[in-house]
Structure 1
Amino acid sequence: MLSADYLPADLSFFGMYPISIVFVIFALYLLRNKYGHGISKIPGPMLVGWTSFWRVNNIRKSQSHKTMIDLHRKYGKLVRTAPDVVDVSDPTMIPEIYNIKGTFKKTGFFSLTELSWKGRPRPNLFSTTDETFHREQKRKVAHAYSMTSLLEMEYAVDDCSRLFMQKLGEFADKNKTIDLGAWLQFYAFDVVGELTFQKKLGFLEKGDDVDGIIKVIGMGLFYTVTVGQVPAWHKILLGNPLLPIFLPQMERWNAVLEFTLKAFNSRISRSHIDKFSTSSPTNGKDMLSRWLAVSSSDPLKMSTEDVVVALSGNVFAGSDTTAIALRAIIYHLCKTPSCLETLVKELDDNEYRLSETISYKESREYLPYLNAVIKEGLRIHPSVGLLLERHVPKGGAVISGTWIPAGTKVGINAWVLHFDENVFEQPERFWPERWLISDEKKLAEMEKSFFVFGAGSRTCIGKNMSIMEIGKVIPQLLREFEVELLNDWKVNNAWFVQQTGLNVKLRKRARQH
């Protein structure tokens, strides 16, 4: 056996100083993180340049939206939050970072939301980082999300609203406390069911989380936002390509896919695929029917896989974002009685104009204060509370007057923009009037900073679904019930800024005639 005296000099060195070598390598790694990305002069918390640990820990605390508001107030428009990440709070950069051409591409964070089906990941409109794929897929489904198409299913939304009011009435009759936040999500999920599958999904009827899907989505989001801060971790965790080989049953863990296929198969069993037609006045207006009609006539244009992936997107994100907005509006109205009184008076004054179940058109045309309330609710509590990350393209870019190298992750957080004191006077104040009394210049400034649905080619495709639901159910609820808030809520940010504990007492109102 050779002794160390006979080892080559380089091997002998490594053998004698293993700890020192590891230390040097680690030190070089940290120095590269701090100074090797070309953003070392951008301010931020002490540890952010050296490691991503600060960012992961910030997410873990579930209050990242508040932290980032404070950091931007301290440091300005650009804040470094990781070795290769810069948070931006400049509304003039929205057209640059989120341009229509999609030159600032989505980061690996979004890939974590892909569902796994038949042994491989299936990208969707939200998750894909490929702009060409996104354009092709959006072209197939976008028409179904237009307000014109959605209003063809308004009668189904009305049916959900009537059932919702009936269920709330039962609580009011018994003078029982109700977790209104949970019921608002049940309503939103059943509306998604009607618009997507032309069937309620059972949330309102059951008064509970059907198949535990709401809980599972929440758990999935927690994994996504935590691991997504360092996407490389996903490749050795749930994104490990070996997992489907050694654990083929893993697909069954994908509750969103299972839930979607259950609704899909239930609907198909009631009507043969060839009968789906958008020409029928009673059939074919929901998204499943529209897309299956295309798929059955031209499978190359839209495959069954395309249909299922698109449907899954509605299940995954279609209820959470709307429910968050509904909770925010009700909560802040209850916390600001003068605003609630003004809105109820507007409803009473326009009673003669409103249908038994308020239509979206009526809410837009006759209820200006309602629309200001909705706008302010979306401003003060955006549904998404993290950075909409993008990669700086090849050649780098000037962001807020600072050159940022290619490959750096940059993006904007709606909460930071919406709480900018330079744009929104007293941003912590729920003040719908700001959208009615501001002059044209101020209103335009606020609109440029309104970022609740994102911007550019990747604007939230479900925007119109959410706007229609909110515009219909908020006035219907306040028209029929007095709402007494019993406690403050709790807010946790895991991508979606979820609220829990919206406990209220309801009393039926005497309708004005």
Structure 2
Amino acid sequence: MAIVHLTSLSVVAGAALILGFLYKFVIYPTFLSPLSKIPTGHWSAHFLPFWILHLRRTNQENVTILRLHEEKGPILRLGPNELSVNDYAEGLKKIYLGGWIKNDFYAHRFTNYETTPMFAMVHGKEHSERKRMLSHVYSKTQVLSSATTRATTEAILYERLLPIFQNSSDTDSPVEVLELNYAYAMDAFMAFQFGLSLASNFIQDVQKRKWYLNDFFSRRPYLFYITETPKLLSRLAKVGVHIVPQWVDAATDALESWNLDICDRAEQLLAQGREIPAIDYPVIYAQERAAMRKSYPGTTRLNTPRPDQFYPFRYEIASDMYDHNAAAHETSGDTLTYVYYEMSRNPVLQKRLRDELLTLDPPVAFPLADPGDITLPDFKAVEGLPLLDAILMETLRLWVAVPGGQPRLSPYPSCSIAGYDNIPPNTKVQCYAYALHRNPKVYEEPEEWRPERWLDASAEKLTEMRRWFWAFGSGGRMCIGNNIAMHSMKMAIAGIYTNFTSEIYEHGDMTLVDGFTAGPKGNRLNLKFHHV
């Protein structure tokens, strides 16, 4: 009898566990949770994350989220604890201007040297403290007036970039511009970051460029596992199963070592205490170095577990420097590629832009009769050219370089979003630039590249378009490098279309890669340039 009684108790206990499991993981999230009333992207999203994970793994997320928002409205449930919002007031304004904190997505994807960079910091206070250290040197005023910006821009344009297009014209040969644009974007940014003598020279050093880009982009297929399933990776690795090949870690280590070596040399340069010419001054590195030492006197380390700090804050600064230059070359490189692609399909617009660029005093003329006569126009004048700005803004809208979701966590104790109340705290909520930039009520014919929309719009319409424009994010977490990015891209475009016309020779699939960051799927764009 006792055995029968124990068996009965076991059956009851087992049934209770099953019922409890079903209630917690199926019944409650599907029927009773405040999230259950929100339209789902897929029926399973109420209680399983597999649908959205599948979209991310197979590079279908951005286009699918856009389609579903068009069908089901401004808010979607993507998983048991995950939402997407495609709206300004209830999305961009509430979430990102409201200071909702980041989740661990960023730390998994962007941590360098085992050290969290500013971009991946979860809490606003920590991020704000770091951002204040750098905001001055990244401001538009500083970027456009810096002697280092002027000296390095002259050198990179006239000595490295424009001669390539002149050679294309002289020899009637095509130039593969995607890889070249990554090189230019990296060189231009790092020259401001570290000074010209320490920065990359990927435009001219093709072998080094190819090494870097191969190691950087070859890891992309494995970022899904690193970002979305880090615990699974760790557990499998303990039993000898490696979903992510070991060469991926080796490539990451090589890239980090390359960046760290430049940081170490910048440290040695500044430690000498000598006057440094403007062209070689490491503006961004020097600013963070000085600010860290001032803010944390007597301290040599903050959030890094790595012990070999040969000088104060070695890895904290290196992590930020790596994050900034990696973001700069990828996003600006992709954007410039799409600018040249669209311009090469529109010779009439090339003529209009050239006419505008020739109003600069002096214009960005190339070649010069005397190489010593390089005099660039006032950068503020370049910044103020309306057609140039419209071309770049429209490219950043349609061909947005960071189209993927940028997750945040909903606040305590609960909140309301897009008409739905009692949203639990720590719900993952995100907007997608890819979807925001394709709202036909804001951007008519959103799939068309139309720079004139930024020129012909009424003041009210322009304000609305700028509200929804999200190429650089918004709020306190807005991309800190947007001003140097806009400057370097505008100067490249000005240098090219003042002096050359461009035409398409051959290209791969120009559709955007569907990921957190994006470039053309075909990974190549070959253009011919002809001197005017």
| Range 249-258 or range 59-68, more displaced | 249-258
Distance 1:250 1:322, change over 3 A: closer
Counterpart of 1:414 in structure 2 is: 433
Counterpart of 2:515 in structure 1 is: 494
For 1:456, the aligned partner's letter is G
Partners of 1:468 and 1:171 in 2: how far apart?
A: 25
Q: CA deviation at 1:219?
A: 4.5
For 2:118, the aligned partner's letter is L
For 1:34, the aligned partner's letter is T
Secondary structure, counterpart of 2:133 in structure 1: helix
Secondary structure, counterpart of 1:201 in structure 2: coil
Does residue 342 (structure 1) correspond to residue 335 (structure 2)? The answer is no
Partners of 2:136 and 2:291 in 1: how far apart?
A: 12
Does residue 108 (structure 1) correspond to residue 130 (structure 2)? The answer is no
Distance 1:421 1:170, change over 3 A: same
Partners of 1:352 and 1:461 in 2: how far apart?
A: 30
Unmatched tracts of structure 2, length 5 or more: 300-311, 366-375
Does residue 400 (structure 1) correspond to residue 418 (structure 2)? The answer is yes
Native 8 Å contact 1:372 1:436 kept in 2: yes
Q: 1:445 aligns with which of 445, 458, 464?
A: 464
Distance 1:239 1:220, change over 3 A: farther
Distance 1:136 1:239, change over 3 A: farther
Counterpart of 1:388 in structure 2 is: 406
Does residue 332 (structure 1) correspond to residue 335 (structure 2)? The answer is no
Counterpart of 1:432 in structure 2 is: 451
With normalisation by structure 2, the TM-score equals: 0.82
Q: CA deviation at 1:75?
A: 0.7
Distance 1:55 1:212, change over 3 A: farther
For 1:192, the aligned partner's letter is F
Distance 1:111 1:203, change over 3 A: same
Counterpart of 2:138 in structure 1 is: 145
Counterpart of 1:61 in structure 2 is: 58
Q: CA deviation at 1:329?
A: 1.6
Secondary structure, counterpart of 1:504 in structure 2: strand
Counterpart of 1:503 in structure 2 is: 525
Q: CA deviation at 1:503?
A: 2.4
Distance 1:297 1:449, change over 3 A: closer
Q: CA deviation at 1:338?
A: 3.9
Does residue 133 (structure 1) correspond to residue 149 (structure 2)? The answer is no
Partners of 1:238 and 1:22 in 2: how far apart?
A: 31
Does residue 45 (structure 1) correspond to residue 41 (structure 2)? The answer is yes
Partners of 1:284 and 1:352 in 2: how far apart?
A: 27
For 1:131, the aligned partner's letter is G
| Identical columns (%) | 21
Partners of 1:200 and 1:267 in 2: how far apart?
A: 10
Counterpart of 1:74 in structure 2 is: 71
Partners of 2:155 and 2:173 in 1: how far apart?
A: 24
Counterpart of 2:302 in structure 1 is: none
Q: After superposition, where does 1:206-285 map in structure 2 within 5 Å?
A: 206-208=205-207, 210=209, 212-229=211-228, 232-233=231-232, 236=235, 253-268=252-267, 271=269, 273-275=271-273, 281=278, 284=281
Native 8 Å contact 1:89 1:417 kept in 2: yes
Q: CA deviation at 1:497?
A: 1.2
Partners of 2:55 and 2:397 in 1: how far apart?
A: 23
Distance 1:174 1:70, change over 3 A: same
Secondary structure, counterpart of 2:442 in structure 1: coil
Partners of 1:10 and 1:386 in 2: how far apart?
A: 53
Residues 303-356 of structure 1, C-alpha deviations (whole Å, 9 max, x = no match): 3333222212223212111112111222222334443342233334x2664244
Q: CA deviation at 1:294?
A: 4.7
Q: CA deviation at 1:390?
A: 0.8
Partners of 1:10 and 1:111 in 2: how far apart?
A: 49
Partners of 1:420 and 1:173 in 2: how far apart?
A: 44
Native 8 Å contact 1:260 1:312 kept in 2: yes
Counterpart of 2:306 in structure 1 is: none
Distance 1:369 1:274, change over 3 A: same
| Range 418-427 or range 142-151, more displaced | 142-151
Q: CA deviation at 1:231?
A: 5.9
Native 8 Å contact 1:183 1:207 kept in 2: no
Counterpart of 1:375 in structure 2 is: 393
Distance 1:159 1:412, change over 3 A: same
Does residue 123 (structure 1) correspond to residue 116 (structure 2)? The answer is yes
Partners of 1:211 and 1:144 in 2: how far apart?
A: 30
Aligned pairs, number: 491
Distance 1:211 1:8, change over 3 A: farther
Native 8 Å contact 2:364 2:498 kept in 1: no
Partners of 2:221 and 2:387 in 1: how far apart?
A: 36
With normalisation by structure 1, the TM-score equals: 0.85
Secondary structure, counterpart of 1:484 in structure 2: strand
Secondary structure, counterpart of 1:393 in structure 2: coil
Residues 461-482 of structure 1, C-alpha deviations (whole Å, 9 max, x = no match): 1111211111111121122222
Q: CA deviation at 1:178?
A: 2.2
Distance 1:353 1:191, change over 3 A: closer
Distance 1:421 1:282, change over 3 A: closer
